[in-house]
Amino acid sequence: MKHLILLLATLLSPFHGMAQVLDTLRHEVVLETSMGNVRIVLHNETPLHRDNFLKLVREGYYDGNLFHRVISSFMIQTGDSTSRHAQPGAPAGDYSPDYTLPAEIRYPALYHHRGAVAAARESDDVNPEHRSSASQFYIVYGRRFNEDMLDQVQARLDKATKGKVTIPPALREAYYKKGGTPHLDGQYTVFGEVVEGMDVVQAIQNVETDAHDRPLQDVRILRAVVVK
């Protein structure tokens, strides 16, 4: 009986759920947007972000959300559920659920290449642990970088991270050939990447925006669906 009780305690323990970390399925989500579909694969190397994102998608959290912050040659951002009711021209992007996620930064394995999906967060001065927003995320578009530009980015990273983040040769080549936003590396959690629909991402990041970086014509997620 004692051994049975111990076994039941183990099975009911909150740590038993950590088996989800071993999930080997490459989960995929499709964002059906007003400008086309974007298919995202989630990284198993960031299980907390993966599972939280899947939970919110299944609950319908993202359905109707605006891309409330769009910056050309940089990224598109969404995840404020109150933005679905935002009036034209009103600022949006201040809301996310009242919890945060521990950083799961897996640099340089996961980096800010074009198409990377990463969690937004509060700034370093109020968030030194780089904890992620529960719901807000961005998709990288970025730009291509030559060697001089990458040297400037490295200097910026040295200052921001006290020399802890270095762009290795393989990533320098990737930023030169494909592009991205290397100045964010090692500071934000990258938890997925676009595998279909980068043309849609490109079109969204090119829309005309106001002084708050909100598109003048609403671009929204009509529905987010777990497809795998």
Q: Give the chain's domains with CATH numbers.
A: 28-226 (2.40.100.10)
The 10s digit of each residue's pLDDT in 134-163 is 999 999 999 999 999 999 999 999 999 999
pLDDT of the residue at 228: 85
Global confidence as pTM: 0.89
pLDDT tens digits, residue range 72-102?
Answer: 999 999 999 999 999 998 999 999 999 999 9
Residues 6 or more apart in contact with residue 32 via CB below 8 angstroms:
221, 222, 223, 224, 225
Tell me which of 13 and 123 has the higher pLDDT.
123
Phi, psi of 200 (to 5 degrees): -70, -45
Assign 6 a pLDDT band (cuts: 50, 70, 90).
very low
User: What's residue 24's pLDDT?
Assistant: 80
Say which amino acid occupies 190. V
DSSP, collapsed to helix, strand or coil, labels residue 180 as strand
> What distance in Å separates the CA atoms of residue 93 and residue 10, rounded to the nearest whole number?
41
pLDDT tens track for 169-225: 999 999 999 999 999 999 999 999 999 999 999 999 999 999 999 999 999 999 999
Contact 183, 157 (CB under 8 A): yes
- For 165, the 3-state DSSP assignment is coil
Count, residues in the chain: 228
- Residue 100: φ, ψ to 5°: -125, 165
Torsion of CA 69, 75, 76, 78, to 10 degrees: -80
